[in-house]
Structures are given as C-alpha cells and as structure tokens.
Amino acid sequence: MNIGAKFYLTITILLIVTLGFGQSNGEKNSEIAKFLDSLSQDDFSGTILVAHKDKIIEKRAYGFSSIEYDVKNKIDTKFNIASITKTFTATAALNLYEEGKIDLESPIGKYLPYYPNKTVRDSVTVHQLLTHTSGLNNFYVADLDKIKNSDYNEISDFVPLFVNDTLLSKTRYEILL
C-alpha cells in the first residue's frame, strides 16, 4: 500500500473511531490535530482540510509544490489535477441530465449558441464530449510547450487553445449535415 493510500485509510479510521465513540468536539479536534502534527513531508505532500458540518476543524499544507525550486505548499496552493476533473464533470453533467436540464444527444450549440467553431457547435453532442468520442483533439498534447499556467486565470482563457481546431473525425451529426 502506498503512502497516499495509508494516509487516507488512517484519516478515515481516525474519523470513524473518534465519531463512533462519542468523544466531545474538543477531544475529536485534539486527536485530529495530533495526527496531523505527526505527518511530515515524507508522509504526504499536499493540503488537508478537515471539516465537520459547516465548521473547519483543521487546514494544513505539507511538502512542496515545486521540489525543483524549493517552493512549499500553502493552504491556497493550486494543484494541477488534470484528468481527475473528468469524473467530476461527468457526474455534474449526468445530474443535470437526470434533472431534465440537458439532453445528452443534442449538439452543444443548444447550450453554447455563441461557441465560435460552427462545426463543433452544430455537430458535437454532450454525450460525445463526456465519452471522448467528439473528434476533438487533445489540445494539451499539441501545445504543451506553449502552455504557461500563469497565463490561464479563467476557464475562458483556455478557449483560444482549441476553438479553431478541426475535428479529427466526423461526428454522426456532421455526416448527416
């Protein structure tokens, strides 16, 4: 078991045990703080937030955001989490589908009527975006050497990286057009 898995297992067990045995909030907080005090950058590198209901109990940063430049993590360090966001996006989109707010088979132009790339707007569906079958290229691969994190503060800042790309393959809607 790797260190990350051990850490999450330990935190989970700690929280279950402390909540399960009816300790007071002060005792729970003390146990959590004691555990977090015992961690070192060799055990974990990242940030931790422990909350109960609407109250933050502990928040801490460990290790380095850049080992190469000796930059320590801070509570507000932004992490490049890359593809893990795909799961969250798909879950959110499917929740909207269940609520009847989106149609998975409609072209994205239904929801982004001013999207500048007409071919994509009129032929790529939400379903295709979620299943990576739209024919859109992976802009990170093509332009990795041009991407500087400091240039991208808003989601819309990424659009010029891919908005004019052609589709790698035709979608079924594009074939019908």
Write the pLDDT tens digit of every residue in 25-73.
667 778 888 888 887 777 778 888 888 888 888 899 888 888 888 889 9
**From CA 151, how far away is CA 158, in angstroms rounded?**
9
pLDDT at 4 over 70: no
90 & 165 share domain: yes
The predicted pLDDT at position 156 comes to: 81
62 & 128 share domain: no
Q: Is 34 inside any structural domain?
A: yes
33 & 109 share domain: no
**From CA 145, how far away is CA 41, in angstroms rounded?**
30
121 & 63 share domain: no
The predicted pLDDT at position 74 comes to: 93
User: pTM of the prediction?
Assistant: 0.55
pLDDT grade, residue 7 (50/70/90)?
Answer: low
Quote the number of domains for the chain.
2
Q: What is the residue-averaged pLDDT of the chain?
A: 78
Query: End of a domain among 16, 45, 72?
Result: 72
Query: End of a domain among 72, 98, 113?
Result: 72
Query: End of a domain among 25, 52, 72?
Result: 72
Strand partners, 4: none
Catalogue the long-range contacts made by 168-176 (C-beta closer than 8 Å, 24 or more residues apart). 168/135, 168/136, 168/137, 169/135, 170/123, 170/135, 171/123, 171/124, 171/125, 171/128, 171/134, 171/135, 173/107, 173/122, 173/123, 173/124, 173/125, 174/119, 174/122, 174/123
pLDDT at 20 over 60: no
Q: What is the mean predicted confidence (pLDDT) over 102-130?
A: 93
Q: Is 163 inside any structural domain?
A: yes
Residue positions annotated with a catalytic role: 83
89 & 158 share domain: yes
Q: What is the mean predicted confidence (pLDDT) over 138-155?
A: 67
- Structure tokens belonging to residue 49: 């937030």
94 & 157 share domain: yes
**Percentage of the chain modeled with pLDDT above 90:** 21
pLDDT grade, residue 21 (50/70/90)?
Answer: very low
90 & 48 share domain: no
Q: Which domain holds residue 46?
A: 3-72
